[in-house]
Structure 1
């Protein structure tokens, strides 16, 4: 039999059994749809992670109180930062950082915002870009100056005819602060803090008016380059041990590179887990195809006998049923991909970031065809192995 005759026979059978074929493909449709969406959500998670860390230098190191210490009585201070700056040769920048919440007011508009007290090197470590003005510098260390995030600026000044709010005064916890800069829009947050909605003020001013001296500050440093990260960690550990002895274990050192890799691994693990679920769905769909083909072989036993009697070879019968399984699964894969495209606006509505890629489409389609081929082969081989005389006498 020619390929054209085989395909004609297949499409006639599909057309005459549309409902059965549709129900057979449901598992494949759902499986391929799931694969595309899982890959898209995984890509969205990866992109979010990359964006979250893109403003940080890979050599950024955090020195902070260790987690899980019930009696962590020690707190980092400016003298610790100065010791690290003087004794650690592997770093190029260092800054104290302290966080707190405050009420922000501007002519009747009020909001609660995250406030970060920083020093001059903070921006050099974090690579924050400014829409207007300048960032906190050494000249501002004891002054009530503020740099505000883009979203906070929009909230406070949206009804004002102000394109550049630098020089305006805002009230933070009852104290008047002058705006000296506005950050460019970032669209991401890190460690629970969204710079777009936050305020940056000088470190000592934050201690005096916002946080007091009770909250535990953090020290941020920047290694000279990626090759100095390990040596910087070792040197900082030595400084802490020299200053605090056995109690130095109340502090820990984290690097941005490991945090980034950890976040990437978490996103990959979640994607693989969901992908395995999609694979199970496809396998169930493949079993459905196999069952339907077994029924089809039974129903078409006499047809198989007639085809063999008029000269159809064993491989022709094998091709008919195997290609039918592949075509059914391919149709299911294509329908699943189309439905995934339609599902994207729904994901966006629920603020789930998903990025479709050609690889996701090809993976879903490839899996669908592979499942159809794998589970379709045995029924096809069973049909091809029927003897003509048995098939013709089958009741």
Structure 2
């Protein structure tokens, strides 16, 4: 039996049962659409993670207070001791593999300009922190450590925050006065658009976001005095915790620098586990692994939809085998090989699933529009299309094999006598 005749037979069968075939392929359509959308969301998530950490060089090392204190001191008790600003800034002098150390503290507050107000995360930083994290102004300039020592009330706004407060006129922000915690601060600059959180902390939404684009930056010493307070007392107490970011001398010095920092923390406050010390590469890798795991889980959910629709395809083909039993008997009686019958039904299953997959691909064009009603980001990819189509065809072949094999095993006489 020629392939052209097989295809003609398949088309006639599908046309004869088009409503049933369409309803059966709905699962394939939805499954393919879901897989493509999930892959797109995963790609967008991975890109967001990369954007978050792209400002940090591979030599940078984040030093942050471990949750619950040390969590691993003797007897399981946590420590209230913390590194002070002075402790941290001594590291480049005392540690061989550490080149520089930045310092920051963060709190949230209302920020207002004119009639526009928003809750924002305020990050107090020193110049070194800005250098290591590559905070670059697109308008105006960054403040200096001297501004901190003089307690000058100056602020640098993230791009999104400036865009919100000044209604898109970024350049006009420089020199203006904004209110932070009811106190007037002069805007010295606006940061270039970055995207992501730049390796600082994690959060979501503008009120809780730690993306540099959504934040306001002030000198560290000003933040300690007027906004966040300090946890710098060696015995504890105080307000917001301090985060440090160190930079190793070179890429080969990263691990030795981490070891030195941990030892230094242990010697300084008596608990080397009180702070987590991780390099940017490890943090990025961990975040990417988490993103990929979530994408894999979502794809698995979409695959379940495919399996359910595959069972539907199997059901349709089982019915088709019964309806065409006499036809199968005729084909066998005139010499059609078992492989021909098997191939015909497998092709029909593949055709149904492939058409469902293509409709799912066309439907995925609307994925950005669907997700526009949420905060979920989507990034279209050819990979998603191929994965979706691949799943759909494989589903059709897998679930179409049993009815196809059953049809090919029918005996001619029994098939011709089938009522």
Indicate the SS of the match to 2:403.
Answer: helix
Aligned to 1:140: 147
Q: For residues 61 and 146 of structure 2, what CA distance do their matches in structure 1 show?
A: 25
Aligned to 1:183: 191
Q: For residues 36 and 210 of structure 1, what CA distance do their matches in structure 2 show?
A: 46
Alpha carbons 2:350, 2:397 under 8 Å: kept: yes
Indicate the SS of the match to 2:410.
Answer: coil
1:307-364: CA deviation from partner (whole Å, max 9, x where unpaired): 2233433332222212111111111111122222223311122121111211111111
Alpha carbons 2:139, 2:170 under 8 Å: kept: no
Aligned to 1:72: 79
Q: In the TM superposition, what is the alpha-carbon distance from 1:130 to its structure 2 partner?
A: 0.9
Aligned to 2:251: 226
TM-score (norm 1): 0.92
Q: In the TM superposition, what is the alpha-carbon distance from 1:174 to its structure 2 partner?
A: 4.2
Aligned to 1:288: 312
Alignment CA distance shift 1:338-1:108 (3 Å): closer
Q: In the TM superposition, what is the alpha-carbon distance from 1:108 to its structure 2 partner?
A: 5.4
Q: For residues 162 and 326 of structure 1, what CA distance do their matches in structure 2 show?
A: 56
Q: For residues 113 and 367 of structure 2, what CA distance do their matches in structure 1 show?
A: 42
1:113 aligns with 2:120: yes
1:298 aligns with 2:306: no
Q: For residues 374 and 28 of structure 2, what CA distance do their matches in structure 1 show?
A: 26
Unaligned runs of at least 5 residues, structure 2: 70-76, 204-209, 231-237
1:192-232: CA deviation from partner (whole Å, max 9, x where unpaired): 31322322221112112222232221221112233222111
* Greater mean alpha carbon deviation, residues 363-372 or residues 132-141: 132-141
1:47 aligns with 2:72: no
Alignment CA distance shift 1:100-1:3 (3 Å): same
Alpha carbons 1:83, 1:239 under 8 Å: kept: no
Q: For residues 42 and 295 of structure 2, what CA distance do their matches in structure 1 show?
A: 5
Aligned to 1:341: 365
Indicate the SS of the match to 1:336.
Answer: helix
Correspondence for 1:167 among 158, 161, 175: 175
1:19 aligns with 2:27: no
Aligned to 2:32: 32
Alpha carbons 2:178, 2:184 under 8 Å: kept: yes
Indicate the SS of the match to 1:121.
Answer: helix
Aligned to 1:5: 5
Alignment CA distance shift 1:257-1:308 (3 Å): same
Q: In the TM superposition, what is the alpha-carbon distance from 1:36 to its structure 2 partner?
A: 1.1
Indicate the SS of the match to 2:372.
Answer: helix
Alignment CA distance shift 1:15-1:107 (3 Å): closer
Correspondence for 1:355 among 379, 384, 407: 379
Q: In the TM superposition, what is the alpha-carbon distance from 1:17 to its structure 2 partner?
A: 0.8
TM-score (norm 2): 0.87
Alignment CA distance shift 1:210-1:272 (3 Å): same
Aligned to 1:244: 269
Count of residue pairs brought into register by the alignment: 393
Correspondence for 1:205 among 205, 209, 222: 222
Indicate the SS of the match to 2:227.
Answer: helix
* CA-atom RMSD in angstroms: 2.2
